[in-house]
Amino acid sequence: MNRIVVISLSLLISFAWGIFFLSPKNKTLNFLKEEIGQKQFELQSQEEYLANLTRTAENLKNYQIQLAKIDSALPDTPELPALFDFLQKSASQSGLVLKGLEATSGTQAEEGLRETRLNLLLIGSYTSFKNFLSVLEYSSRLIETESLTFSSSEAGLINAKIRIKVNSY
Amino acid sequence: MIEIIPKPAQKLPLWQNILFYFSIAVLIASFLSYFVLGHFIKNSQKTLQELEGTLAREKTSSQLLLEEEVFNYQKKIADFSLLLRSHLFTSKTFGLLERNSHPKIWFFQFNLDSTKNLLVLSGEAEDFSVLGQQLLIFKKEPLIKGLDLSNISVGRKGRVEFTLNLSLAPQLFR
């Protein structure tokens, strides 16, 4: 056979083979490579996320005291008996008499926080009352004094009514 | 006339030889490439399958627990920071009153709403002049934003009874 014919046929077949068989295969391979790259990125992100999570959990262990304070300020339940006990002891240590104590039902505030309000009726001197308020303000339970009403008598004693708010989950 | 002596075979040009071998090589290479690409595709599909399997694998219980613990504390810290920033120191009102009370004034009723920054004081003054001085003292205090006098009456022993509505600056409680 004439060599020119062989050359022409070879090049023609190669060209047709490339168009109809190699090119689709190459496209498939490129698509797969892209998919692999994407999945590898996802896997890497997932691994980094888990590593960060582990690191954060480890870091949290170094702040146990601070976290305990946060737990105390924001307990999982209102923990009213413990709070009542604290209020009674604080009032007594400040020199006040706790005449009455009632809790209103908790309301669900924004972002899952539950607000519980308590009304306190107290009798004592002005100084004792000031001390008691300071104790409430600096307590680890993060007590908010929303309102306070008191009237004083000429004997120097005051009758006070305080509304406080505590938060829990 | 019949030629007895055979002619030497005609030599092909060099370019034709090169092109001939080149075209054959291209043909073989293209056939081989088909199989090589097939092999790579098979390998890539296997790798992809493995990666998808790893990604689809569910988190272990310890990972879930870790995640819950961290997110729980993250929320608690955020909530705590928010509450701490808005924490009110109501007892500072007493300091304000102690600094600004006239010695001849006696406050017998005190109503504070720290959420609205409002303080209502009911008191007794020796006379109107003392009450006027008290109002001036309160007006000079930058932490008192508004002042409203009401319910003025002359009570027992000629003393002046009054009610004061004070609007307090929010920074007083911070």
Q: What is the pLDDT along chain B (174 residues), one digit of tens a residue?
A: 566 777 777 777 888 899 999 999 999 999 999 999 999 999 999 999 999 999 888 788 888 999 999 999 999 999 999 999 999 999 999 999 999 999 999 999 999 999 999 999 999 999 999 999 999 999 999 999 999 999 999 987 889 999 999 999 999 998
A50, A144, A148 member nearest B87 (Cβ): A144
3-state secondary structure of B59: coil
| Structure-block tokens of residue B53 | 């399997």
A29–B40 CB contact, under 8 Å: yes
Kind and range of the H or E element at B125? strand B118-125
Alpha-carbon distance of A76 to B14, in angstroms, equals 92
With a cut of 0.85, is the ipTM above it? no
Please give the radius of gyration of chain A, using alpha carbons only, rounded to the nearest integer.
Answer: 37
**Global confidence as pTM:** 0.73
The kind and range of the H/E element at A12 are: helix A3-17
Of the candidates A3, A33, A153, which has its C-beta nearest B12's C-beta?
Answer: A3
Pick from B17, B26, B107 the residue to mutate for testing the A interface (most A CBs within 10 Å): B26
Q: Determine contact: B16 vs chain A, CB below 8 A.
A: yes
